[in-house]
């Protein structure tokens, strides 16, 4: 059985590596990861950038460096050019006895306010020791938006696994090869398992690649893989059914995209809706998978919690399986 499962997987891999759409699906996790890194701010990007004149007031520079990222420039023209650059940076420049703030005009209000207050604190000679607030942190340097995007991307990747299976099933249908497979000692179960491997591996390796590129390497990978595994099962089922129901790769892929709706709904419900609305999303496996991923990525998930979320996804996927299994069986006849 194992030999046949591997043969079916190797055949699919060989065909997918020759096919442009499948190759594109293979690299999507990498593209996701790069895009997330490019478009979400790192924790350092949320600090305030200040431009100052070099040598004008060394004491002020030292003071500001405790609270912001300081860049020094030799003259006003260089500072002007720097302030006009795409990122958020403001300059604090001398004006006779006082200082004025130079900004590009599109900086967040908070950045300007911060610069104003910092300059006032300096002029009033307020030191860190003067505060009675103590800050404690958990040394987490990843911003929440990035975590949400990575979480959603992991679920997207699980759907891509289903899409790949649909593509491979459509190929079998178009070439009419399922009947030939049925006349070998390959059982239906072996065939389904063999066909599922590529989708499952894409989801697992794609998620790992995403995690490594986006810098979530210190999360509990076993917990993460457990959630990825169970959430991929649903996508695989849908991949099979859409593959069997379509004769065209693009139609099958398009039908699989319907899964993005419950995925987005689950993610938005958790992030945006109040607790009283949450119960309306308990039917959605992606809701639980998102919760599970969130717990893993935040490093707050206990095993009990992760097992609960995984079980919820598994139970809901089993319900879907019970509904789809006769259709899959019939389609493979």
Partner 1 sequence: MIKVKNLYHSYSNDDNYAVKDVSFEVTKGEIFGFLGPSGAGKSTTQNILTGLLELQKGEVSVAGYDIKKIIPKMFNKIGMSFEQSNVYSKLTAKENLEFYRKLFDVKTRNPDELLRLVGLKGKENKKTGDFSKGMKHRLTFARSMINNPELWFLDEPTTGLDPAIASEIKNIIKEQNDKGVTIFLTTHNMYIAEELCNRVAFIIDGEIKLIDSPKNLKLQYGDKLVEVEYIENGNLIQETFSTVIKSDKKKLQNLIGKHEIQTMHTKEATLEEIFIKVTGRRLV
Residues of this chain that bind partner 1 (CB under 8 A): 3-4, 7, 11, 14-15, 18-19, 171, 174-177, 179-187, 333
Residue 109 CA to residue 93 CA, distance in Å, equals 19
Provide the minimum distance between the beta carbon of 10 and partner 1 in the complex, in angstroms, as a whole number: 8
Residue 225 CA to residue 288 CA, distance in Å, equals 14
- Tell me whether residue 7 or residue 278 sits nearer to partner 1 (CB atom): 7
- 3-state SS class at 53: strand
- Tell me whether residue 52 or residue 197 sits nearer to partner 1 (CB atom): 197
Provide the minimum distance between the beta carbon of 8 and partner 1 in the complex, in angstroms, as a whole number: 8
Beta bridge partners of 217: none
Residue 218 CA to residue 139 CA, distance in Å, equals 12
- Tell me whether residue 18 or residue 139 sits nearer to partner 1 (CB atom): 18
- Tell me whether residue 224 or residue 332 sits nearer to partner 1 (CB atom): 332
Q: Which of 13, 25, 10 is nearest to 162 (CA)?
A: 25
Provide the minimum distance between the beta carbon of 212 and partner 1 in the complex, in angstroms, as a whole number: 31
Number of neighbours of residue 209 by Cβ within 10 angstroms? 16
- Tell me whether residue 221 or residue 328 sits nearer to partner 1 (CB atom): 328
* Backbone torsions φ then ψ of 75, nearest 5 degrees: -145, 170
CA angle 65, 67, 68 (to 5 degrees): 70
Provide the minimum distance between the beta carbon of 148 and partner 1 in the complex, in angstroms, as a whole number: 38
Q: Concatenate the DSSP letters of all residues of 25-39 into one string.
A: HHHHHHHHHHHHHHH
Residue 15 CA to residue 37 CA, distance in Å, equals 31
- Tell me whether residue 1 or residue 85 sits nearer to partner 1 (CB atom): 1
Provide the minimum distance between the beta carbon of 186 and partner 1 in the complex, in angstroms, as a whole number: 5
- Tell me whether residue 80 or residue 188 sits nearer to partner 1 (CB atom): 188
- Residue 48 carries which DSSP code? P
Residue 234 CA to residue 314 CA, distance in Å, equals 8
Q: Which of 112, 102, 104 is nearest to 85 (CA)?
A: 104
Provide the minimum distance between the beta carbon of 23 and partner 1 in the complex, in angstroms, as a whole number: 13
Provide the minimum distance between the beta carbon of 9 and partner 1 in the complex, in angstroms, as a whole number: 11
Residues in the chain: 333
Provide the minimum distance between the beta carbon of 325 and partner 1 in the complex, in angstroms, as a whole number: 17
Strands 49-53 and 90-95: parallel
- Tell me whether residue 8 or residue 269 sits nearer to partner 1 (CB atom): 8
Residue 54 CA to residue 66 CA, distance in Å, equals 17
């Amino acid at each position: 059985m194992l030999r046949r499962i591997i043969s079916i997987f190797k055949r699919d891999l060989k065909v997918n590596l020759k096919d442009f759409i499948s190759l594109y699906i293979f690299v999507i996790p990498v593209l996701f990861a790069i895009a997330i890194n490019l478009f979400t701010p790192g924790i350092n990007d949320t600090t305030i950038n200040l431009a100052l004149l070099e040598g004008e007031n060394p004491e002020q520079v030292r003071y500001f460096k405790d609270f912001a990222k300081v860049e020094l420039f030799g003259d006003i023209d260089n500072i002007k050019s720097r302030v006009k650059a795409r990122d958020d940076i403001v300059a604090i420049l001398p004006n006779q006895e006082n200082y004025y703030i130079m900004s590009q005009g599109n900086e967040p209000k908070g950045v300007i306010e911060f610069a104003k207050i910092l300059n006032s604190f300096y002029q009033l000679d307020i030191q860190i020791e003067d505060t009675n607030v103590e800050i404690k942190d958990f040394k987490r340097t990843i911003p929440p938006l990035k975590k949400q995007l990575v979480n959603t991307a992991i679920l997207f990747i699980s759907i891509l696994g289903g899409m790949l299976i649909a593509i491979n099933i459509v190929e079998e249908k178009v070439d009419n090869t399922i009947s030939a497979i049925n006349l070998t000692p390959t059982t239906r179960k072996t065939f389904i398992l063999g066909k599922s491997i590529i989708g499952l591996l894409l989801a697992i390796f794609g998620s790992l690649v995403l995690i490594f590129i986006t810098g979530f390497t210190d999360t509990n990978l076993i917990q993460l893989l457990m959630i990825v595994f169970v959430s991929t099962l649903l996508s695989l089922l849908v991949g099979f059914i859409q593959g069997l129901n379509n004769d065209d790769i693009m139609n099958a892929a398009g039908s699989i995209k319907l899964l993005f709706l419950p995925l987005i709904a689950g993610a938005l419900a958790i992030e945006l809706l109040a607790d009283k609305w949450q119960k309306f999303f308990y039917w959605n496996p992606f809701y639980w998978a998102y919760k599970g991923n969130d717990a893993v990525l935040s490093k707050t998930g206990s095993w009990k919690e992760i097992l609960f979320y995984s079980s919820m996804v598994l139970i809901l996927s089993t319900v879907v399986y019970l509904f789809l299994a006769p259709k899959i069986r019939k389609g493979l006849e």
